Amino acid sequence: MSTDNSPMGEHFELTASIGGRIQRAVVTEIAASLRELDVDGVALVQDYPADAQPPWCAGWVLVPWPNRVAGGTWSDDGVPQQLDITEPDNGNALHGLLTHTPYGVSARTADSITLDAGISPQAGYPFELSTSVRYQLVEDGLLVTHRLENTGHRSAPVALGAHPFLRLGSVPTDELTLYINAATHIEVDERLNPSGITTDVAGTTNDFRTGQLVGSADLDDAWSDVHREDDGSSVHYLEAPDGSQVQMFMDASFGYVQAFTTTDFATDGGMVTAVAVEPMTAPADAFNSGEGLRWLEPGEAWEPSWGIRYVTTRE
């Protein structure tokens, strides 16, 4: 694809025809971000102008931590660490270390691509990792598989997330109903870091298990205690008035989900309402709390996966 004016580097188009359906996705070189996804011509992620940065972190891979590290500070075995402050308004380190990094292509077919990027020891994160993300078109959408390997000589803390903005074709996002299948809401302070308090969502406005209209929501919120299927996976989704759904599914590695809404997501057609439904293996500030944080030993690898699927009323 032509990407001469894109700040996201090369755009990689994936296409497939599986199970009588037509699948298509576009992934970018910078941040290995998911830029477009559609099944049978129905757009499942919110697009944005080709010559623009992704609005609100759209489609980014968030590694080696999702969300925030409070003040960018944490302690590694008693040694203070200071990450760059990448969310200056709140004074936090936001969304990991690879959001502006060019990824290399290590494998590619018509319907899949694997993109690689390394993390070298640096201020605030004195560890070495190799990372990859594989995007694979499937019958009802997309499967995303990450691989993190500790290529250093000491154990390394890791967590992972992604930042897809979901949509359902031409249905205005305000008219979609959001379902978050999780029982506990994570309360935050004025800088959007966990306050240490969690609440049962039952009977509160934070209960999205039976759905709430996106147009009435104002969210930058996280939940834990996700409802698990028998295989440990969980599903969160948007539903249109006709009953069709765009689902974000995540495997057992992901115990947390974030939802973010905005009314000023820039598209070629102007500003629209958009909602991100973000899989996370750990909540915000996991480097300090330790919650959900995974420590990889030297040579150890980890492969969490999630995806997006389109479910029609006929299924």
What is the 3-class SS of the chain, one letter each residue?
Answer: CCCCCCCCCCEEEEEEEECCEEEEEEEECECCCEEEEEECCEECECCCCCCCCCHHHCCCEEECCCCEEHHHEEEECCEEEECCCCECCCCEEECECCCCCECEEEEEECCEEEEEEEECCECCECCCEEEEEEEEEECCEEEEEEEEEECCCCCEEECCEECCEECCCCCCHHHCEEECCEEEEEEECCCCCEEEEEEECCCCCCCCCCCEEHHHCCCEEEEEEECCCCCCCEEEEEECCCCCEEEEEECCCCCEEEEEEEEEEEECCEEEEEEEEEEECCCCCHHHHCCCCEEECCCCEECCEEEEEEECCCC
Measured between alpha carbons, how far is 223 from 283 in angstroms, rounded to an integer? 8
Please tell me the predicted confidence (pLDDT) of residue 37: 99
Q: Which of 246, 248, 211, 244 is nearest to 233 (CA)?
A: 248
**What backbone phi and psi angles, to 5 degrees, belong to 215?**
-65, -20
Partners of residue 147 on adjacent β-strands: 132
Please tell me the predicted confidence (pLDDT) of residue 202: 98
Please tell me the predicted confidence (pLDDT) of residue 313: 78
Please tell me the predicted confidence (pLDDT) of residue 5: 75
Q: List average pLDDT for each run of 10 residues in the chain, which is 315 residues long.
A: 77 98 98 98 95 94 98 97 97 97 98 99 98 99 99 98 98 98 98 97 97 95 97 98 98 98 95 98 98 98 99 77
Please tell me the predicted confidence (pLDDT) of residue 291: 98
Measured between alpha carbons, how far is 116 from 29 in angstroms, rounded to an integer? 10
Token pair recorded at residue 209: 């298990």
Domains and CATH numbers, the chain: 11-311 (2.70.98.10)
Q: Which of 208, 226, 230 is nearest to 217 (CA)?
A: 208
Please tell me the predicted confidence (pLDDT) of residue 314: 62
